[in-house]
Amino acid sequence: MTDDNDAPAEVVTEPIFAAGPPLQGAPPGEFEGPRRRARRERAERRAAQARARAIEQARREAKRRARGQTSESKPVPRGAVRGLKMALATILVSVVAVGLGLILYFTPVMSARSIVVTGTGTVTREEVLDAARVQPGTPLLQIDTGAVADRVAAIRRVASARVQRQYPSALRITVVERIPVVVKDFPDGPHLYDRDGVDFATAPPPPALPYLDVDNPGPSDPATKAALEVLTALRPEVAGQVGRIAAPSVSSITLTLTDGRTVIWGTTDRTEEKAEKLAALLTQPGHTYDVSSPDLPTVK
């Protein structure tokens, strides 16, 4: 039986907490949920990994120090990288150039399949080729052009020779022949001399070639050099009239013209001035023209 005077029973409620361990570092009695626990565990794992890496790094540093190596690696300067690239490019280009040179040197890719000879007159092409001694088909880089030129220049009638490679397959030999300016008789026949006093041929002289009257003609003979200096200084119209030039010494040079007139030249001093005075004097009648003193030339 119910007592109506009795008060209703008081309901007491208490807070319900999620199950789980308490949050570390939180006030006592505070618990963490699943998400918070997962974040905490991840943080703990990262911290553990960081500690492990630090320990491994310390171990490596200790090994480097034991080997005498520095633990700090300095960055490579940008200029050094650029210089390294340029050095590698230079090496590559050098290797390619050397390889190409070896190919051209040892193979007939660029060889002397034809030899061109120019400048010859009295000297024949066959003489030049015989002296050059270059075999057709020889790689151009194997041909010593200086040695070939020296061999060709050794021909008696050749004053100089030039040898050029003409890629891809030709060799050009240019010859300059000696030109006779005087002649002198010898027991074996007339010898021809060029303007340097070189005896380069024994043959009949060209028409109107002056006769050289010296004791020992040659490129090193002072009298020969003095006579040729005078002859080459004359005006062309005067030089064409000279039949003989005599130089018993360097101070007593005389010219004999083809018509018999005589020119007393004297020494080689003031040669150009004497040549001008003689060209004017020869327009005057006379037999002997003296220009040994160009300040006072005379006609007799």
pTM for the structure as a whole: 0.63
Assess contact for 292 and 273: CB atoms under 8 A.
no
Are residues 115 and 164 part of one domain? yes
Domain endpoint, select from 177, 198, 213 = 177
Which residue in the block uniquely carries the two structure tokens 């949050």? 23
Are residues 290 and 232 part of one domain? yes
**pLDDT of 31:** 62
Structure tokens at 244: 């003989």
**pLDDT of 30:** 56
Are residues 243 and 136 part of one domain? no
Q: pLDDT-based confidence at 93, cuts 50/70/90?
A: confident
168 preceded by a cis bond (ω within 30 of 0): yes
Are residues 271 and 195 part of one domain? yes
What is the CATH number for 127? 3.10.20.310
DSSP state of 19: S
Q: Is the pLDDT confidence value at 16 over 90?
A: no
Position with higher pLDDT, 129 vs 57: 129
| Number of domains into which the chain is organized | 2
Domain containing residue 168:
111-177
Structure tokens at 103: 């190919």
What is the CATH number for 277? 3.40.50.10960
Are residues 167 and 233 part of one domain? no
Tell me what the pLDDT averaged over the chain comes to: 84
Assess contact for 175 and 158: CB atoms under 8 A.
yes
